[in-house]
Amino acid sequence: MFGLTFEKLLIIGVIAAFLLGPERLPLYAAKLGQFTRSLRDFANGAKDRMRDEMGPEFDEVDWKKLDPRQYDPRRIIREALLDDDTATATATATAIKPVTESAYAQRQRKLQAGALPPFDSEST
């Protein structure tokens, strides 16, 4: 909660008690309680309104998946670049083979013999 630990909140409370004094402290504590209740009611009202507008789909939503803190940019990019289908991913991995020196040498021989047209970078 905004980097506030229990110790920091305790120090703030002690300072507030000294600054406000014993006469005004109960009044401000009551106002803080009212503010907290109104904030909670506002949040619950927004939740109820969202449930009414979305209908039964609201209960089916997995809210943990929508938490922005769990997103890792590396994972998002990886998932965007790769297909989720494992069959497609394995087919792609097996279709792409590294060029070996012998394959390169064979291509060069065929090019020199005129069996293959030369590689044209503008046509691809």
Position with higher pLDDT, 82 vs 48: 48
- For residue 1, being part of any structural domain is answered with yes
Q: What's the pLDDT band for 106 if we cut at 50, 70, 90? A: confident
- Calculate what percentage of the chain has a pLDDT beyond 70: 74
Same domain, 90 and 40: no
- For residue 121, being part of any structural domain is answered with no
**What's the rounded mean pLDDT across residues 83-107?**
59
Q: What's the pLDDT band for 83 if we cut at 50, 70, 90? A: low
Same domain, 50 and 88: no
Q: How many domains does the chain have?
A: 2
Domain boundary among 46, 63, 80: 63
- For residue 99, being part of any structural domain is answered with yes
The CA distance from 86 to 28, in Å, is 61
Position with higher pLDDT, 4 vs 23: 23
Closest by CA position to 111, among listed 102, 119, 100: 119
